[in-house]
Amino acid sequence: MSSVWGKNIKISIFGESHGIAIGVVIDGIPPGIQLDIEYINKEMKRRAPGRNKISTSRKEGDNFEILSGYFNGRTTGTPIASIIYNTNQKSKDYEIIKNIVRPGHADYTGYIKYSGFNDYRGGGHFSGRITAPLVFAGAIAKQILNKRNIVIGSHIKSIGNIEEDSFNMINLDKSLLINLTNKEFPVIEDENEKRMKEYILKLKEEKDSIGGIIETAVVNLPVGIGSPFFDSVESRLSHLIFSIPAVKGIEFGAGFSITKLKGSMANDEMYVEEGKVKTYSNNNGGVLGGITNGMPLIFRTAIKPTPSIGTVQRTVDISIMKNTSIEIKGRHDPCIVPRAVPVVEAAAAIGLLDLMMENKLI
């Protein structure tokens, strides 16, 4: 089933953007794990809409209710079910365009796939709203990993052509990653926040949108996680990351730029320090042969511009198969990159936890 993922832990997400609720069932979390509910709330708020001028005006608190698998402050070992009620829908915004498919959205493909029975309001099950349950599951996975000193953090590497420097891929302190998770707009250099926000707001005024790149790092992963060929770290994480709406690309380490290097420069030469094998560079992003090598795991995720824009666009009326145009109304993010940051981290945490369990490390 397409809404179920995992081998050692399984997650199943459900719901639609303008339905009664959305949620997730997580199976395979070991019993006895103490959950920090405030930590989960914090992660949910990082993704929640309606927090600032560069976000959609739709206000959803993303307050969750745990229905099962949690008792007396600890996991029970049975499936954890969580539900998030939708409280601020404006479905009438979509009634007048239910047959006018929106460019860049899954309206047309969803209509064909589900024979016209799909919930078209706000994108239905295709909506980025469905990433909220993913963040809930990721917050649990991150807590389990944190207890083993494995820390995940990200920064907004670029918005359009406005870019900041990458992480130091060799010497990366976990304190930087933790500090970034506490920022509403996670950038390494604060001056980049102003530049990026001003550009987003300019495009909002122009009824347009923009995308960007999120760079994510994971430190203190043990050596030996992942299995060739089809369960490599890259393939397992990529499967999850590409499940996030609006993701159009992912690269690890030096990524596509490694093609411009000679082998003598691309290879990460090795040395021993305090009984540990390390590398002088990290062009492979902490992974060799699909297996972690102990260096920081580094990857970048490409997020496309928000497809819901106020500019008039050419499209079709699927009910009569005629050409037409559309000017999208309603409440939409001019840039979803900031809100996608915790989603990418959540997906990475879920994938890494699954791999850790596979290696009997949890």
Task: Please say whether the dihedral angle defined by the alpha carbons of residues 28, 31, 34 and 35, taken in this order, is positive or negative.
Answer: positive
Q: Give pLDDT, residue 119.
A: 80
Residue-by-residue pLDDT tens, the chain, 362 positions:
578 999 999 999 999 888 899 999 999 999 999 999 999 999 999 998 766 677 665 566 789 999 999 999 999 999 999 999 998 656 566 667 788 999 999 899 988 888 888 887 777 777 889 999 999 999 999 999 999 999 999 999 999 999 999 999 999 999 999 999 999 999 999 999 999 999 999 999 999 999 999 999 999 999 999 999 899 999 999 999 999 999 999 999 999 999 999 999 999 999 999 999 999 999 999 999 999 999 999 999 999 999 999 999 999 999 999 999 998 887 788 999 999 999 999 999 999 999 999 988 88
The one-letter amino acid code at 31 reads P
Is 53 marked as binding a ligand? yes
Listed in sequence order, the residues at least 6 apart from 182 whose beta carbon sits closer than 8 Å to its beta carbon are none
Q: Which of 55, 181, 236 is nearest to 129 (CA)?
A: 55
pTM: 0.94
Domains in the chain with CATH codes: 4-358 (3.60.150.10)
Taking CA atoms, 258 is separated from 253, 255, 264, 281, in Å, by 8, 6, 11, 12
Say if residue 305 carries a ligand binding annotation: yes
pLDDT of residue 102: 92
Q: Is 47 annotated as a binding residue?
A: yes
Backbone angles phi, psi at 288, to 5 degrees: -135, 125
For residue 304, say whether it is annotated as part of any ligand binding site: yes
CB-CB contact of 334 with 311 (8 Å): no
Say if residue 126 carries a ligand binding annotation: yes
Is residue 113 a known part of a binding site?
no
* 164, 213 contact by CB (below 8 A): no
Question: Which residue, chain included where needed, has tokens 């006018």?
Answer: 100
Strands 287-288 and 291-292: antiparallel
- Residue 331 labelled as part of a binding site: yes
Residue 127 marked ligand-binding? yes
Q: Is 307 marked as a binding-site residue?
A: yes
DSSP element (H, E) containing 43:
helix 37-47
Question: How far apart (Å, rounded) are the C-alpha atoms in residues 305 and 334?
Answer: 8
Peptide bond into 229 cis (omega under 30): yes
Position 118 scores a pLDDT of 83
Q: Given the structure tokens 């990460």, which residue do they identify?
A: 268
**pLDDT at residue 148, as a whole number:** 96
Cβ 242 vs Cβ 200: under 8 Å: no
Of 202, 209, 225, the closest CA to residue 291 belongs to: 225
CB within 8 A of 79, min separation 6: which ones? 25, 26, 27, 68, 69
